């Protein structure tokens, strides 16, 4: 059978952090083998494609977004049948679609796949990138979980600018042979008993946010310089216990599998599945007091998209329960279409608590903001200062 860890190694070692960066390696033959039945069902489930497209499909579809979310495997039959050729551009950070759009890419982008915090910031700032969606052309979106059907981060002035594709959280993943669980707070990881046992992803935002939350800062995404300095000072107490800052979530899983660390902070539930294939048992849990944060990625359509019919048809196809289940399986993420959950295998289904997204507003997923402002906002420090703070932590 396939060897996901080996694959993702080859794919993601130079990549910055994010679960998306491990996805290159999970694609391909392994995906076909893993959810062939779902793909077969997908081929039969595009009855609404004509309604979505207006019957004018074919040609190119320019995709820019996280690796794997172009659904090359999941949507293969759909694309072939409709004569659509996807031209993907994979991103390493959420700002890239905007940068590309502003630097000559306007009129060359169709589908954008990006994360909820960036999409929220973009809409709030009034930046032009996404066009308002005509949901009548995405009838399958009616099957979205309540949290995603009314995704506040994708809505502005009554218009919807994106359709969520997948979601998840960032728990701690640990080796149960060494630990019964994880401490109640992230700051507890400073205890000497964790020396040489921790692995963090090299992520300026996620770790800083988690520690700030652990320190009792109400909204960690909006910190003053004093608060962020105090957070870094607190994090430095844990640094001696950290063996490495992994390049990606896949690499973090690899460190756990090799036994070089036994607890991944800010990990990914899918790492358990990856480790299991290597014969290593891992478990996930979030610190009881602090919890963790949630993320979601959504498809949107760029302003002046040249292949808008293809884009609508593609998004609609990916919102079918079968395709949504297949992409969630492939990417080790949560499904956003409620009917897709029943089509997930037990492992994938068990990765996430679907009661969160079953409630309107998405509870903590909907209300939580992780990414700080792009620039300083009064006393609130923006992303550049977070990056500087993280750099100080790494070099400190």
Partner 1 sequence: MSNGAATRRLLLPGSSFYVIFFVIPFVILGLYSFWTQIDFKMHPGFTLEHYQAVLTTSLYKGVFLRTIIVATLTAIIVVPIAYVLSYIMQFVFPRKGRILFDIILVSMFSGYLVRIYAWRTILGKEGLLNATLLQLRIISKPITFLIFSNWSIAITLVGLLIPLALLPISSSMANVSKDHLEVAGDLGSRGLNMHRTILIPMVLPGISTAFAISFILAAGDFVVPTMVGGTNGVMVGNLIADQFKGLAPNWPLGAALAMSVLVVLIAIHAALMRLVREITRW
Q: Which residues are at the interface with partner 1 (CB under 8 A)?
A: 9-10, 13-14, 16, 92-95, 98-99, 102, 118, 196, 202, 204-205, 239, 242-245, 247, 251, 254, 258-260, 371, 374-375, 382-384, 386-387, 391-392, 394-396
How, if at all, do strands 111-115 and 59-65 pair? parallel
Nearer to partner 1, 51 or 255 (CB): 255
Nearer to partner 1, 179 or 354 (CB): 179
State the nearest-atom distance from the C-beta of 92 to partner 1, in Å: 6
State the nearest-atom distance from the C-beta of 258 to partner 1, in Å: 5
Q: How many residues does the chain have?
A: 396
**Are 264 and 169 a contacting pair, CB within 8 Å?**
no
Check the CA dihedral 210-92-36-324 and report its sign. positive
Backbone angles phi, psi at 46, to 5 degrees: -100, 40
Nearer to partner 1, 81 or 102 (CB): 102
State the nearest-atom distance from the C-beta of 70 to partner 1, in Å: 20
Nearer to partner 1, 339 or 374 (CB): 374
What is 130-175 written as a DSSP string?
A: BPPP-GGG-GGGGGB-HHHHT-GGGEETTEE--EEEEEEE--EEE-
**Are 386 and 204 a contacting pair, CB within 8 Å?**
yes
Q: Which two tokens stand for residue 230?
A: 């105090």
Check the CA dihedral 187-15-119-228 and report its sign. positive
State the nearest-atom distance from the C-beta of 89 to partner 1, in Å: 15
Nearer to partner 1, 33 or 125 (CB): 125
State the nearest-atom distance from the C-beta of 120 to partner 1, in Å: 13
State the nearest-atom distance from the C-beta of 239 to partner 1, in Å: 6
d(CA 254, CA 275): 8
Question: CA torsion angle for 239, 244, 247, 251 (degrees, to 10)?
Answer: -130
**Are 48 and 139 a contacting pair, CB within 8 Å?**
yes
Q: 3-class DSSP state for residue 224?
A: strand
State the nearest-atom distance from the C-beta of 66 to partner 1, in Å: 14
Place of tokens 């992520």: 203
**Are 38 and 322 a contacting pair, CB within 8 Å?**
yes
Nearer to partner 1, 52 or 256 (CB): 256
Q: Degrees (nearest 5) of the Cα angle 126, 161, 75?
A: 140
Nearer to partner 1, 134 or 260 (CB): 260
Nearer to partner 1, 14 or 355 (CB): 14
d(CA 10, CA 12): 6
State the nearest-atom distance from the C-beta of 96 to partner 1, in Å: 9
State the nearest-atom distance from the C-beta of 25 to partner 1, in Å: 11
Nearer to partner 1, 32 or 303 (CB): 303
Nearer to partner 1, 135 or 392 (CB): 392
Please report, for residues 68, 130, 323, 324, the alpha-carbon distance to residue 27 in angstroms, rounded to integers and kept in the order given: 7, 27, 15, 15
State the nearest-atom distance from the C-beta of 262 to partner 1, in Å: 10
């Amino acid at each position: 059978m396939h060897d996901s860890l080996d694959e993702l190694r080859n794919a993601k070692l130079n990549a910055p952090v994010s679960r998306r960066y491990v996805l290159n390696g999970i694609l391909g033959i392994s995906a076909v083998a893993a959810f062939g039945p779902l793909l077969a069902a997908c081929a039969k489930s595009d009855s609404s494609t004509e309604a979505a497209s207006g019957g004018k499909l074919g040609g190119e579809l320019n995709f820019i977004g996280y690796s794997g979310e172009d659904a090359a495997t999941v949507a293969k039959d759909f694309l072939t049948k409709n004569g659509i050729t996807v031209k993907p551009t994979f991103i390493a950070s959420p700002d890239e679609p905007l940068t590309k759009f502003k630097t000559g890419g306007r009129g060359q982008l169709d589908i954008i796949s990006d994360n909820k915090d960036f999409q929220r910031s973009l809409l709030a700032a009034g930046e032009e990138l996404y066009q308002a969606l005509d949901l009548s052309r995405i009838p399958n979106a009616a099957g979205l979980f309540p949290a995603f059907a009314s995704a506040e981060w994708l809505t502005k002035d009554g218009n919807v600018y994106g359709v969520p594709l997948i979601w998840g959280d960032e728990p701690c993943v640990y080796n149960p042979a060494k630990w019964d669980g994880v401490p109640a707070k992230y700051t507890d990881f400073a205890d000497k008993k964790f020396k040489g046992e921790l692995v963090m992803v090299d992520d300026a935002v996620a770790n800083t946010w988690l520690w700030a939350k652990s320190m009792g800062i109400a909204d960690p995404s909006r910190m003053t310089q004093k608060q962020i300095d105090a957070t870094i000072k607190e994090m430095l107490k844990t640094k001696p216990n950290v063996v490495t800052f992994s390049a990606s979530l896949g690499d973090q899983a690899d460190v756990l599998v090799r036994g070089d660390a036994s607890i991944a902070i800010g990990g990914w539930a899918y790492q358990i599945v990856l480790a299991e294939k290597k014969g290593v048992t891992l478990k996930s849990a979030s610190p009881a007091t602090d919890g963790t944060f949630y993320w979601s990625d959504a498809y949107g359509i760029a302003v002046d998209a040249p292949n808008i019919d293809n884009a609508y048809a593609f998004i609609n196809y990916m919102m079918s329960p079968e395709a949504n289940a297949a992409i969630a399986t492939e990417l080790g993420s949560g499904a956003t279409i409620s009917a897709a959950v029943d089509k997930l295998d037990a492992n994938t289904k068990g990765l996430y608590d679907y009661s969160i997204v079953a409630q309107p507003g998405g509870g903590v997923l909907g209300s939580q903001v992780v990414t700080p402002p792009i620039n300083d906002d009064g006393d609130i420090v923006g992303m550049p200062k977070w990056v500087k703070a993280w750099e100080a932590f790494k070099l400190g």
